[in-house]
Structure 1
Amino acid sequence: MGTSATGFNASAATAAPSGAATLTHAKLELHEPSLDGALDKPGPVIGSIDFQFNPKELTLAKSAKWTRPTTRGSTKSSPPQYQGPQPSKLTLEMFLDESVFFDPSKKQDGYVVKTVEKLFSCCIPTDASHGQKKDSPPWVKFAWGGLTGFLAYIESVSVKYTLFTPAGLPVRAVATVTLQELAGEPPGTNPTSGGRVPHREHVVVQGDSLPGVAYAEYGDAALWRAVADVNGIDDPTRLRPGQRLLLPTADELQRTAAPTTRPRPRPQGAAPARREVVAGAVR
């Protein structure tokens, strides 16, 4: 059962012998975005959100996009045309209950509220990505023992508080979390697909320049020409705040940086270039 077909990888989720089963808690693994822009391999682990109680059900959705071109005057609908798959979505509920380990003689530490805040923080950029001007929320993967889900980001979090202390502290809640798939197939793995490797983006801020963006992204300011080429920029001095720049892939950087040895063709009928020899040097 592979992730490309069902959204889950259950290759390691084998049944334990009778009487030897142990309770394994589900969790959401949190990662930094990938370091090289690939959508099939996350960056370093930055934490996890453990389920206090394992989910009793998971909702996995997958859809395809179809279009029906319309023709003026036609009395029947045209045949549908397949446009491609939509990203998978996984919806699950997390039941949080601090009252189950409530001790009247001790002060509660706000476990429910802290867990909810951690879920909400998955909808905003990580500190590392924001510092590098590559804003991205954590990349998330659902894991439950040997069962692992697709690489995703948290699309939405909805929380309903259902129990409070006399002081007004929430001690019970149900959080509904929706994860959306980042990419269905690793880029470049299917040479016959004809698909392009997806680009990362950089949002221009005040004071940005193409050499500065190239240096921040690739450590080489001279690669600004590749950024300009991918974005069709003729005047590199005209960048406006809020503009989205596509960042070249490794292949595009190599093509732009590769020197050309082919001479430019001379227009038909043009005279050969004039050369002067001065002290053995050709001008």
Structure 2
Amino acid sequence: MSPAVRASRARAQLTLKEPPASVGARPGGTIARLDLQFNPATLQLQKTTEWRRSPSRMAGQSALPEFVGSGPRTLSLEVFLDATATHDNSVEQAVEKLMKACVPTPASLGRKKPASPWVRFEWGTARTTSFDGVLSSLSVTYTLFDVDGKPLRATCALSIEEASVDPPGQNPTSGARTARSTHTVVAGDSLALLAWREYGDATAWRVIAEANDIDDPMALVPGTELVVPGLRDAGGEEER
């Protein structure tokens, strides 16, 4: 059997997993798995970057753009469901599996941290389109019904947004929460949001405020460079 024939038999699938119990943890056990009847005809992979450019006083010149950060990958695809030749004789069961990815899991509700399942799309050995993420949108269009109104065919358009599992506060240079780093303030920033990104704890914003002599945590000026200390550098908290 040729490699081309073997590759053509690889079936795409969607797996729903229990969301992580804590920041930086990996997703839990499998909640549901949907083996796609038909491999997608197209896959759209999108990733964005954000740049900031200060206005230039010279009409014929433009300031150099400053890299702010990159957004998560987003995978968009269409799933075609056809129950006319199956014993279920309905696509509702498959649609219900996809709908589970849009609501909090019972386990997360029990922890009082509501979170929807994490989703992974896999198709053979493809790597760029296989990552853990959350369902950011789902649209179902029913296209065929039986005499009782039971849906027999459906096209499901969905988008999966990448969800990182890197530990909170990890510095790319040292990999430790004790490292000092800097952050340039952009519009919409707050100390609580920065503390969450760096330490996984929004209430630790005072550590950053004290390191930068900030009296009003709500008055952050875009373009200001902040020192972000590790928790041990601040002398107030121990690494957990």
Answer whether TM exceeds 0.5 for this pair: yes
Tell me the CA shift for residue 126 of structure 1.
1.0
Q: Which runs of 5+ in 2 are unaligned?
A: 176-180, 183-194, 207-230
Q: Is the 8 A contact 1:87 1:184 kept in 2?
A: no
- From 148, 167, 172, give the equivalent of 1:190: 172
Q: Which residue of structure 1 lines up, in the alignment, with residue 80 of structure 2?
A: 95
SS of the residue 1:122 aligns to: helix
Tell me the CA shift for residue 79 of structure 1.
2.8
SS of the residue 1:99 aligns to: coil
In the alignment, the residues of structure 2 paired with residue 37 and residue 175 of structure 1 have an alpha-carbon distance, to the nearest angstrom, of 31
Q: Is the 8 A contact 1:37 1:200 kept in 2?
A: no
In the alignment, the residues of structure 2 paired with residue 116 and residue 19 of structure 1 have an alpha-carbon distance, to the nearest angstrom, of 30
In the alignment, the residues of structure 2 paired with residue 199 and residue 229 of structure 1 have an alpha-carbon distance, to the nearest angstrom, of 12
Q: Is the 8 A contact 1:59 1:91 kept in 2?
A: yes
SS of the residue 1:256 aligns to: coil
Matches within 5 A, 1:41-80: 41-70=26-55, 75=59, 76-80=61-65
Q: Which residue of structure 2 lines up, in the alignment, with residue 105 of structure 1?
A: none
Q: Which residue of structure 1 lines up, in the alignment, with residue 104 of structure 2?
A: 125
TM (normalized to structure 1)?
0.57
Q: Does residue 155 of structure 1 match 2:175? A: no
Tell me the CA shift for residue 51 of structure 1.
0.7
TM (normalized to structure 2)?
0.67
Q: Does residue 30 of structure 1 match 2:11? A: no
Letter of the structure 2 residue corresponding to residue 190 of structure 1: P
SS of the residue 1:198 aligns to: helix
Q: Identify if the C-alpha distance between structure 1 residues 183 and 229 changes in structure 2 by more than 3 Å, giving closer, same or farther.
A: closer
Q: Does residue 143 of structure 1 match 2:125? A: no
Task: String of CA shifts for 1:191-237, please: whole Å, max 9, x gaps.
Answer: 25848873798xxxxxxxxxxxxxxxxxxxxxxxxx795255xxxxx
Q: Does residue 82 of structure 1 match 2:67? A: yes
- From 219, 224, 230, give the equivalent of 2:204: 230
Matches within 5 A, 1:257-276: none
Q: How many pairs align?
A: 193
| 4+ runs deviating over 6 angstroms | none
In the alignment, the residues of structure 1 paired with residue 101 and residue 199 of structure 2 have an alpha-carbon distance, to the nearest angstrom, of 20
Q: Which residue of structure 2 lines up, in the alignment, with residue 169 of structure 1?
A: 150
